[in-house]
Structure 1
Amino acid sequence: MTTDSRVDPPTAADERALLQGFLDFHRATLLWKVSGLTGEQLVQRTVDPSSLSLIGLVRHLSEVEKYWFHRALAGHPSPPKYWTAEHPDGDFDLADPALAEQDVEEFRAIVRTSDELAASYPLDATFIRPGHEAPYSVRYLYIHMIEEYARHNGHADLLRERVDGATGE
C-alpha cells in the first residue's frame, strides 16, 4: 500500500464535523486499501466462494453513495451504473481490470458530489427514500454511511492481505 495519508477524524468538534470527519476517514481508508495495485490485483477474488474484490467494493460503494446522497437525499435521477436486474451483483461480477483505475476515479468524483449535496442540508433535514414511506434524517444518512464503510473496510482489510500481504488498520 502507498503511504497512509488518511486524516484522523476530529476528537472534539461539532456534530457535523465529527460525522463528516469519520465518513471522510472511512472513504480514505477504502482508497488506501486499493492503492498501489494493478487492475488485475484489484479484481482478484481471494476469499472463495465470495465474489468480493477490492474494486468490487469501490464500485459497490460508488453505487451506495449515489443511491443515498444523489437519489434519496437530493432527488436526482441516478440509475445504477454497475448492476442491472439481469446482473444484480454486477458491481462485483462484471469488474474489468482495464477499467479499475477509471472506477476509482469515478468513486472520487461521486464522493465529491455527495459531499456537496449533503453540505446544503442541515442534519435534522429529512427525506424520503425511493420506495419507502418513513422519513430519514441527514444525521441518519451520515451514521448509516459510516457503518457501511466500516463494514466494507473490514472486508477490504482481508482482501488486501490476501492479494499482496499488506496490512494496516
Structure 2
Amino acid sequence: MSAAVPGDSDLDRRFALPATADDRTLLDTFLDFQRDALVRKCADLSDEQLRSRPVPSSSLSLLGLVRHLATVERWYFQGVVADEPWPGDLFDLTDDFDAPFHDVAHATGRESFALWREQVAASRRIAAARPLDAIGRTPGTGAERSLRWVLTHMIDEYARHLGQADILREAVDGLAGE
C-alpha cells in the first residue's frame, strides 16, 4: 500500500476535476472551481476582517478582491460576450479605475458576495447559451473575443487573485491555501 502524496484527489480537489472531458466541461468546471475557491478563502471572516488590508505594502483586501471579481464577471460576460446592452459599471462612485479594490470602507461581505453571486449567475446564463466559438466585442474598442478566450481568461484572472487572497487570508488569521 502506497502513502498518499500531494496531488491525490483526497488531498487536493483540483485533481478530482475531469481530466478527459470535452473543452466546454473542462473550462466551465475549472472556472467554477476557481469561483468556489474565492468563497472558501473568505469563509468565516467578519466584515472587518474582509475589509482589512493586512499586508503593509499593499492596498488589497479580500473584500476588494470579491468586488473586483464581480466587476470582471460583469465586464467579460455581459459587456463582451453577451449581445445585450451594456448594463454599466458596478462601482462608479469615483473616477478610480480600481474603485472595487479601494472603496470598501462601507462594504459588507454579505452585500458584496450577493452582488458577486448575481454576476456569476448572469455569466453562467450567458455562457451556457453560446458555443465556445461565439464571438463578442469589447465595449468601446470592438476588439473580438471568443467565449473560449473569455472562459480561459477568467480562470487566469481568478487564479492570479486567489494567490493574493491566500496571502491576505494568512495575514488576517493565519489560514491559507486549499
Percent same amino acid among aligned pairs?
43
Give the count of matched residue pairs. Answer: 166
Tell me if the contact between 2:78 and 2:123 (Cα under 8 Å) persists in the aligned partners. yes
Counterpart secondary structure, 1:136: strand
Counterpart secondary structure, 1:77: coil
Can you list the C-alpha shifts for 1:104-163, whole angstroms capped at 9, x where unaligned?
121112101110111111001111111224321110011000000000000000000000
Tell me if the contact between 2:170 and 2:176 (Cα under 8 Å) persists in the aligned partners. yes
134-143 vs 81-90, greater mean Cα deviation: 81-90
2:35 to 27, 33, 43: 27
When normalised by structure 1's length, the TM-score is 0.90
Over the aligned positions, Cα root-mean-square deviation in angstroms equals 2.0
Question: Structure 1 residues 98 and 67 mapped into 2: Cα distance closer, same or farther (>3 Å)?
Answer: closer
Select the structure of larger CA radius of gyration: 2
1:154 to 150, 163, 167: 163
Q: Who is 1:9 aligned against?
A: 17
How far does residue 6 in structure 1 lie from its aligned partner after superposition? Answer: 8.5
Give the AA of the match of 2:45.
L
Give the AA of the match of 1:20.
D
Provide structure 2 residue ranges, at least 5 long, that are not aligned to the other structure: 1-11
Q: Who is 1:38 aligned against?
A: 46
Tell me if the contact between 1:83 and 1:89 (Cα under 8 Å) persists in the aligned partners. no
Q: Who is 2:120 aligned against?
A: 111
Structure 1 residue ranges (4+ consecutive) displaced by more than 6 angstroms after TM superposition:
4-7
141-150 vs 7-16, greater mean Cα deviation: 7-16
Provide structure 1 residue ranges, at least 5 long, that are not aligned to the other structure: none
Give the AA of the match of 2:48.
E
Counterpart secondary structure, 1:80: coil
